[in-house]
């Protein structure tokens, strides 16, 4: 069996589940072992179904088990989607023929076919989203169940769009399944790593500058909109951010920072910390390939590699996941990418929008100040 190339980052199967499970009106079946079921379940916190194939089914075929699970779900009224995992894919079972007798969507997305973004994109393409000229408003994308900030991002961008009198159309991927075929012609993003590529992309919502530019485009496109209140809020809260950061810098030195995250959040964090805290961004370990960066950046796929890089660059502050936290030593830490274990997360906190920028800034400042008190 092929090796896992990026153990820090979920596989394509998990990405497909993250896409499909976000839509109401669809039952998602993970066709594989119990481990392939429980892994995305613990990360996505969404209702999934599994075939839980065992050794004898690997040898003699898993068709009967898959048929049984589909039969149990057939009366729910929801669309059924089956995601293949590594074992069925390697066995070469003709699952498509088996599913032909049912109205089932098959997403062939075994773990070895790529990382989480590849599976997410493939699953979304199988749903065949399309725009409808009769649909007004703007879509929101990048709302992926894997992202621990996705719920907060969605609430925050809905708030800002409502403040600007711009209706929300389809949310990718956190909406009713039927709305996937009536998306609006324009889209704004919250996390570029999970872009839907549906409609015209008007821009992102991470950081004040990006948010300002995106709402200026919205104001030019939607004649009945009023972006003034949003622009005023951006100005006011950016001034407050500068004030608080300057206050921090009067007491403490600018932090040195190493970041581990997906491309979209990593760039947002690096640019924000450099701009408002004069931070020295010593290294970015990206989970996924992305656009070129002006920072010292490389793809980091293993925990040992992450530990070595933290030791090499010796930062004051580490941003990342529970993996990096476990090897960051006595350094300030803030989690911005999954998995984030060992902490209770109930409130839907954002990274996108105005409140996302404020929340990110306060969490970083608090982490740095707490660390300074411990060191002293």
Q: Do domains 138-225 and 233-375 have the same CATH topology?
A: yes
pLDDT given for residue 2 in this prediction: 43
What token pair was written down for 171? 């949310």
Q: What span, in angstroms and rounded, lies between the C-alpha atoms of 306 and 333?
A: 14
Residue with tokens 């911005």: 336
Which three-class secondary structure state does DSSP give residue 100?
A: coil
CATH code linked to domain 138-225: 3.40.50.1980
What are the structural domain ranges in the chain? 12-126, 138-225, 233-375
Core vs surface per residue 121-153: b (16+ CB within 10 A) or e: bbbbebbebebeeebebbbbbbbbbbbbbbbbb
Q: Could you list the pLDDT tens digit for every one of the 376 residues in the chain? A: 344 455 899 999 999 999 999 999 999 999 988 999 999 999 999 999 999 987 666 555 567 888 889 989 988 889 999 999 988 887 777 777 777 777 799 999 998 899 999 999 999 999 999 999 999 999 999 999 999 999 999 999 999 999 999 999 999 999 999 999 999 999 999 999 999 999 999 999 999 999 999 999 999 999 999 999 999 999 999 999 999 999 999 999 999 999 999 999 999 999 999 999 999 999 999 999 888 899 999 999 899 999 999 999 999 999 999 999 999 999 999 999 999 998 888 899 999 999 999 999 999 999 999 987 665 5
Do residues 145 and 18 touch, judged by C-beta distance below 8 A?
yes
pLDDT given for residue 89 in this prediction: 80
Q: Give the Cβ contact number of residue 318 at 10 Å.
A: 24
Query: Under CATH, what is the fold of the domain 12-126?
Result: Rossmann fold (3.40.50)
pLDDT given for residue 376 in this prediction: 52
Classify the C-alpha dihedral 261-267-270-272 as positive or negative: negative
pLDDT given for residue 375 in this prediction: 56
**For the chain, counts of helices (H) and of strands (E):** 14, 13
Would you give the DSSP letter of residue 254?
P
Q: Give the Cβ contact number of residue 371 at 10 Å.
A: 18
CATH code linked to domain 233-375: 3.40.50.1980
Q: Give the Cβ contact number of residue 41 at 10 Å.
A: 18
For the chain, give the number of residues: 376
pLDDT given for residue 149 in this prediction: 98
Could you list the beta-strand ranges (E) of 128-243: 138-141, 168-171, 186-189, 200-201
pLDDT given for residue 64 in this prediction: 80
Angle of helix 228-251 relative to helix 263-277, nearest 10 degrees? 60
Q: What span, in angstroms and rounded, lies between the C-alpha atoms of 261 and 292?
A: 15
Q: What span, in angstroms and rounded, lies between the C-alpha atoms of 65 and 248?
A: 60
The model carries a pTM of 0.94
**Is 65 exposed, middle or buried, given 0-12, 13-18 or 19+ CB atoms closer than 10 A?**
middle
The long-range contacts involving 296-300, CB below 8 angstroms and separated by at least 24 positions, are 297/266, 300/8, 300/260
């Amino acid at each position: 069996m092929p090796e896992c190339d990026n153990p820090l980052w979920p596989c394509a199967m998990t990405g497909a589940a993250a896409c499909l499970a976000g839509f109401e009106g669809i039952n998602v079946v993970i066709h594989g072992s119990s481990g392939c079921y429980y892994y995305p379940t613990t990360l996505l916190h969404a209702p999934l179904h599994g075939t839980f194939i065992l050794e004898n089914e690997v040898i003699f075929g898993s068709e009967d088990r898959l048929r049984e699970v589909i039969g149990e779900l057939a009366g729910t009224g929801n669309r059924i989607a089956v995601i293949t995992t590594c074992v069925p894919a390697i066995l070469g079972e003709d699952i498509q023929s088996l599913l032909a007798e049912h109205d089932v969507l098959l997403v062939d997305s075994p773990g070895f076919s790529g990382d989480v973004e590849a599976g997410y994109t493939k699953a979304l393409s199988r749903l065949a989203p399309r725009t409808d000229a009769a649909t007004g408003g703007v879509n929101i994308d990048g709302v992926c169940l894997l992202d621990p900030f996705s719920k907060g991002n969605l609430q925050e961008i809905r708030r800002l769009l409502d403040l600007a009198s711009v209706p929300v159309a389809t949310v990718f991927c956190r909406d009713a399944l039927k709305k996937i075929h009536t998306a609006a012609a324009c889209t704004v993003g919250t996390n570029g790593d999970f872009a839907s590529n549906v409609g015209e992309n008007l821009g992102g919502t991470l950081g004040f500058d990006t948010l300002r530019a995106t709402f200026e485009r919205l104001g030019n496109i939607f004649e009945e909109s009023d972006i003034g209140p949003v622009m005023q809020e951006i100005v006011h809260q950016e001034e407050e951010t500068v004030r608080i950061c300057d206050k921090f810098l009067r007491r403490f030195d600018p932090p040195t920072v190493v970041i581990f995250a997906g491309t979209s959040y990593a760039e947002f964090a690096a640019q924000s910390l450099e701009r408002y805290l004069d931070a020295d961004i010593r290294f970015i370990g990206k989970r996924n390939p992305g656009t070129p960066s002006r920072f010292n950046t490389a793809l980091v796929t293993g925990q040992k590699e992450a530990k070595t890089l933290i030791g090499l660059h010796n930062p004051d502050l580490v941003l990342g996941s529970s993996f990096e936290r476990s090897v960051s030593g006595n350094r300030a830490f803030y989690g911005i990418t999954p998995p984030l274990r060992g902490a209770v997360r109930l409130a839907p906190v954002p990274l996108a929008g105005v409140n996302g920028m404020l929340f990110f800034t306060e969490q970083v400042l608090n982490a740095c100040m707490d660390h300074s008190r411990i060191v002293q």
